[in-house]
Structure 1
Amino acid sequence: MEKQGEKKASEQSTGGRLLLFPMPLQGHINPMLQLANILHSKGFKITIIHTNINFPNKSNYPHFTFEPISESLVENEFEGSSAADIGNVLILIKLLNTTCVDPFRDCMVRLLSEEPVLCLITDAILVFTQAVADKIKVPRIVLRTGSLSSFHVFHAHPLLREKGYFSMEDYKSEAPVAEIPPLKVKDIPMVFTHEEESLHEIMEAMMKATKAASGLIWNSFEELEQSSLIDIRQDFPIPNFTIGPFHKYFQASSSSLFTQDRTSISWLDLQKPESVLYVSFGSILTIDKGEFLEMAWGLVNSMQKFLWVVRPGVIRGSEWVEPLPDGLLEAVRKRGHIVKWAPQQEVLAHPATACFWTHTGWNSTLESICEGVPMICSPCFGDQPVNARYVEGVWKVGVVLENGLERSEIESGIRRLMVDEEGKEMKRRMACLKEKVNLCLKQGGSSNQSLQNLVSYIMSL
């Protein structure tokens, strides 16, 4: 395992410069910076272009050059790290794709006047970058930070709309989506706000810009999503590179926008092997007070140990854990440990961690697979329901809480994975996936070979 930012002495430096531009949300910044480290280890010089929202900590990356662009986002329309739902995320995406065009173009022109650039790598959702790249004649490669499976569903939006799925009255229907098994109707990414039309527009623009790109990079591995990769290659006949999982190329390092509580690890050190449920719903999702209390009761009633990440602001209208009444708070602390943020990769790799209750964002899902930890899934929006359905229905390494956050179902789900025989079977299947991760990264493995192909491809542009 290489140290971050270093490359093997025997590896010849390419010497060329790459420009990378992440979407400024935690779940998008992390994989872009991980990709930057991977490409730097192959000898490329790296420049990170970033907005003034959620910009990365430059001191953690002395081997990169950082170039800020001054977008003019309206603060009262979107406050960077407080994106609470898919509506806010869609607002951010729309604003970025309109206000960043001119400052991004000016930045690119200036950088190109100073030094040749091999290519630009941007998040798939930053669709405006394709037109700019075309105009100044710089090849653009797309990074898609989610799963291939969810991207395939996003690409099918026009078909699903034509079939009437988006106008169904029962949008929480358990009915199967015949066109895309194993999805259920309720797994289709929908938005029941005034931003619904924006979702379709964004999906259409993202697909068009991706098809116009010079290549497509995935934070996944071929053995996990082989059938989806076949479909993607047919729909997007440009070079596809499945080089993930990105975070496994280097020792655990943080590009987190939140301060990590190291007591997570010291508390886990005191617990028995495979005895703890890790609970974290990521960096964006918010819940109401009632849902929070149901989570607490479900955790307590399960009679299992748990490490619970309660991000400040995750409970709407509350600062932190003050909605917990004294008696329930005492019961929670008796069985569990609450932190504001945790070093997730270390937590999942810890011998005491048995199971992960997650929102099934792709980074969290992939990190759990890499450590062989079965999942309890509570998806909310975007790609999360698709990821959750694959966890349960395709890979069979977890369960979906189908009825939201309800204490009896939470308790049942926890016991299914941590006590019952069903959970042991999932653990065995997870161990097989974990081994496939290890093999794909080794010399001759699918991701290793795909990375070599990507390096050669960039050098040929």
Structure 2
Amino acid sequence: MNPRFQEHFYTHKTDQKFHRIQETQMGSLQEQRLKKVVLVPFPFQGHITPMLQLGSLLHSKGFSVVISHTQFNAPDIADHPDFVLLPLPDDVGGLDMSFDNMLNVISAMNTNCEAPFRDHMVQMLQKEEVGCVIHDSIMKFADEVANDLRIPSIVLGTSNASYSDSLCAMLELLDKKLLPLPESQLQESVPNAHPLRYKDLALSASSEIPDIVIDFTRSYIDKKAASAFIWNTVDMLEHQSLQKLQHHYNVPFFTVGPLHKMAPPSRTSLIKEETACLAWLDNQAPRSVIYVSLGSLATIEEEELIDMAWGLANSDQPFLWVIRPSLVNGSEWIKCLPEDFVEKTRERGCIVQWAPQKEVLSHPGIGGFLTHCGWNSTLESICEGVPMICRPCFADQLVDSRYLTHVWRVGLELEKNSGRLGIENAVRTILTSKEGEEMKVRASGMKQEMERCVLKGGSSYNSLCELVEYISTLPRKI
């Protein structure tokens, strides 16, 4: 291994020795036959998107890329002609794929995919060199196979680093038997986890947590066998959390986000996008539209959907609303929307089943984003300077929301039980108030900082250069 990488490091320290890779070095690497890398995504939208973007980024740097994927939500080869797609039999066809059953789905995937993945890797190693396996934290079978075959394994953090840091804090509280807490204490700060409150933790701090959930969390965090971590984030967003985690794992970290800005454009959506909404946006005034989307997996009750509808209607502001077919528990798409709501908002509302989100957020007509605060959505919104109304649903979304509202201050917190009046007030605040204008100014400043990070000499650019050299010089494990 290159001696420069034998010292464990955090890639975005201000010390320039970690930032300086000469263009001549990069050129010589590109001229070499770079290694094959095998990527193993978790096949849900928020996870597979950054993994495919990372694949495109590594391919653009000269690597041969194999995507070893489950049959469930398999990528379309037509969308990724530069990759070798390697399907893994997962036998999950009869399972409930809702969020409530996700731990059972994850367990089945890890059990069923291990043997075929091992067979593929053994065959691959007989023919050619494999530089490393890069896997989602959830796909632990990939890590186990890679270690058994002495192939370096690298974890891709598809959530933000602060979420992983919060899980470490949660497990420490559980180990010290400091949980659960009474409801009255949920607003208090979590020790050593600023700015999080107990209510912002991914696991409930006020009730007993099932052993299966705790075991999964420990497995998600326990990656001490990993050779390195890749993070879809930026140092200036999460410097403190990254430092704490790097000390915890004591391996190289590479912060190469935001991946959707670093990688060549590619199709990653698992749901068909309705592009006609972009033409509708063309007819709206600049920064006048609130965009509403709660992501690809979260579900809400019909009552909340109706409250959201009337909150949007009563705000008197234009809106683009994504209501995917599985959003509302027990209801079919928009059949539960009141007829008078549809009539009242016909001239200033656009409802679609799925939108091309990156294009929507970059449209000049968008003035705010009512979001579930998934990490991809958070990064995409920050990169376009769009302030957010934060309605998190689960897991990392709770952490993201807290950072958006109380650290980066480009988001407005929307409590789950805010009702239609809370939604109405939040929309008006973001789009029409002085407070909203101040958020837009801060969001615009963050956008400019993010742009600097991905340009030549920026932190993400430098980290990518270091990642390319790191993978290119990785030896097989002894």
| TM-score, reference length from structure 1 | 0.93
Distance 1:358 1:295 in 2: 12
Distance 1:371 1:18 in 2: 31
Contact 1:18 1:46 in 2 (8 A): yes
1:325 corresponds to which residue?
338
**Cα pair distance change 1:171/1:324, threshold 3 Å:** farther
Equivalent positions of 1:67-216 (< 5 A) are 67-73=86-92, 75-79=93-97, 83=98, 85=99, 87-162=100-175, 166-170=179-183, 173-190=186-203, 196-208=210-222, 210-216=223-229
1:442 corresponds to which residue?
455
Post-superposition CA distance 1:279-319 (Å, at most 9, x none): 00110011111010000011111111100000012111112
- How far did residue 252 of structure 1 move? 4.4
**Corresponding position: 1:334 with 2:347:** yes
- Runs (5+) with no aligned partner, structure 2: 1-25
Contact 1:90 1:195 in 2 (8 A): no
The structure 2 residue matched to 1:44, chosen from 57, 63, 88, is: 63
**Corresponding position: 1:59 with 2:78:** yes
**Cα pair distance change 1:110/1:235, threshold 3 Å:** same
Q: Could you tell me the percent identity over the aligned residues?
A: 42
Q: Which moved more, 1:168-177 or 1:210-219?
A: 168-177
- How far did residue 240 of structure 1 move? 0.2
The structure 2 residue matched to 1:249, chosen from 262, 274, 289, is: 262
Q: SS of 1:376's equivalent?
A: strand
**Corresponding position: 1:309 with 2:327:** no
Post-superposition CA distance 1:122-148 (Å, at most 9, x none): 001112222211111111011010001
Q: SS of 2:236's equivalent?
A: coil
Contact 1:157 1:200 in 2 (8 A): no
**Cα pair distance change 1:17/1:364, threshold 3 Å:** same
Taking only aligned residues, the RMSD between alpha carbons, in angstroms, comes to 2.1
Give the letter aligned to residue 24 of structure 1. P
- Runs (5+) with no aligned partner, structure 1: 1-6
2:8 corresponds to which residue?
none
The structure 2 residue matched to 1:372, chosen from 363, 369, 385, is: 385
Distance 2:77 2:178 in 1: 44
Distance 1:451 1:250 in 2: 11
Contact 2:72 2:90 in 1 (8 A): no
Q: Which moved more, 1:377-386 or 1:161-170?
A: 161-170
Contact 2:410 2:443 in 1 (8 A): yes
**Cα pair distance change 1:50/1:172, threshold 3 Å:** farther
The structure 1 residue matched to 2:403, chosen from 390, 403, 410, is: 390
Distance 1:26 1:172 in 2: 34
Distance 1:459 1:307 in 2: 45
**Corresponding position: 1:225 with 2:274:** no
Q: SS of 2:286's equivalent?
A: coil
| TM-score, reference length from structure 2 | 0.90
- How far did residue 13 of structure 1 move? 5.1
2:374 corresponds to which residue?
361
Post-superposition CA distance 1:358-400 (Å, at most 9, x none): 0000000000000010000000111000000000010000111
Q: SS of 1:167's equivalent?
A: coil
Give the letter aligned to residue 187 of structure 2. E
- How far did residue 431 of structure 1 move? 1.1
The count of residues paired between Structure 1 and Structure 2 equals 448
2:311 corresponds to which residue?
298
Q: SS of 2:435's equivalent?
A: helix
Contact 1:273 1:352 in 2 (8 A): yes
